[in-house]
Amino acid sequence: MTDSPLPLEGVLVLDFSQFLAGPVAALRLADLGARVIKVERPVVGDIGRTLAFAGLRAGVDTISFHAMNRNKESVAADLKDPEQLEWVRALARQADVVLQNFRPGVVQRLGLDHATLSRENPRVVYGSITGYGDTGPWKDRPGQDLLAQSVSGIPWLQGGERPTAVGLSIADHLASCHLAQGITALLLRRERTGLGGHVETSLLESVLDLQFELLSAKLTQPEQVRVRSRGEHSAHTFLSAPYGIYPTADGYLSIAMNPVPVIGTLLELPELESMTDPRSWWDSQPRIEQLISQRLATAGTAHWLTLLDAADIWCAPVHTLDELVAHDGFAAIDMVQSIARTEPDGSRTTVQTTRSPLRIDGRTLRSGRGAPVLGADTAAVRAELAPDPVVPR
């Protein structure tokens, strides 16, 4: 069924968002077949065009912009200009989905808020992302990934002497998934009922949801849950030994949830074999980790994988970035695709990036269409969808 239509073919998305969470939500819709038109400011465009991940660029834009805006169209419009704003509103009246992450109050001033657009386009599905919701003491704080992680307490969960943030934009990426899920759910409801709708999420809600196990335990039995110091090799504040990352003679090995006596038998550590009471896996965590790390340091990662895999122990090598991309397993999962576009000066830019992690009807979702040059599709979209704006007087 690899030639079956993609689920969102025929859906028109108008995307006002910028940088990461909103654009990646729109990207997820594009990968599922939607047509995404990105609305950007003239000259400067989406801030993500210049905020470079690792300082790297390809052509006139950052590599990260290419990665999160592939397979989209770009129109440039000055929303402070009445004629251009009315043209954009005419686009919104035809859109199936409108997506935005403006600062609070901006969409209302522009007449691009859900209440206004739904009066003109009752079937519209409207998606909004904020940093911390639109009520409460944090609502006006800058909505950025590190800041959302920090407000949510995540940097303290590593259990060390100082807070350490997750080194990827987890709040942005999770929010993009939640928004895309909500939009697709509302599109399904619209097919059944004809009713559009408004889905909202925030970076904070997304990282709080990430902590649902922790927060459920803390809220239900608060006296039993505290972030404590972990063993040197522990990989989780709330899981007992042997859960951790251990050095070997030539790298590192992760060991997940496994009975300590079983690990003791396989590694020939009698002290661990005798620890049959699971409570001791908490109480003696530093000692357990010390014994395991000393033993694993006597041979290479491949040796221990062979031994532990044969016993069906949950374990894995810890790859460096270079090891990951060179590995046969990385090639086998086939996550890489090549995207390309023509630059304003006529040169050709090609970027190697990831594909959608979904497969639909056996079809791996790919598109070689690169991220759009700023405003590249303005004339074509204007001619096709909204040629004659009427400027309010």
Evaluate if residue 318 carries a pLDDT over 90: yes
Reported as a pLDDT band with limits 50, 70 and 90, residue 391 is: very low
pLDDT in tens, 342-352: 999 999 999 99
What are residue 127's phi and psi, to 5 degrees? -120, 135
- CA-to-CA distance for 46 and 60, rounded, in angstroms? 13
Catalytic positions: 172
Q: Which helix (H) or strand (E) holds 294?
A: helix 285-296
pLDDT in tens, 170-227: 999 999 999 999 999 999 999 999 999 999 999 999 999 999 999 999 999 999 998 8
Q: What's the pTM value of the predicted model, to 2 decimals? A: 0.94
pLDDT in tens, 4-16: 899 999 999 999 9
- CA-to-CA distance for 88 and 83, rounded, in angstroms? 9
Query: Which sequence spans correspond to the domains of the chain?
Result: 12-210+335-385, 252-317
What is the distance between the terminal CA atoms of the chain, rounded to a whole angstrom? Answer: 53
Which segment of 85-94, 230-239, 328-337 scores lowest on mean pLDDT?
Answer: 230-239
Please say whether the beta carbons of 36 and 26 come within 8 A: yes
* E strand spans, 131-271: 197-202, 244-247, 252-255
Q: What is the pLDDT of residue 392?
A: 44
Beta bridge partners of 339: 351
- CA-to-CA distance for 39 and 109, rounded, in angstroms? 17
pLDDT in tens, 144-157: 999 999 999 999 98
Q: What is the pLDDT of residue 386?
A: 67
Architecture per CATH, 12-210+335-385: 3-Layer(aba) Sandwich (3.40)
Evaluate if residue 393 carries a pLDDT over 50: no
Q: What is the pLDDT of residue 48?
A: 95
Q: Which of 21, 68, 358 is nearest to 201 (CA)?
A: 21
Q: What is the DSSP pairing of strand 61-62 with strand 35-40?
A: unpaired
Q: Is 29 exposed, middle or buried (0-12, 13-18, 19+ CB in 10 A)?
A: buried
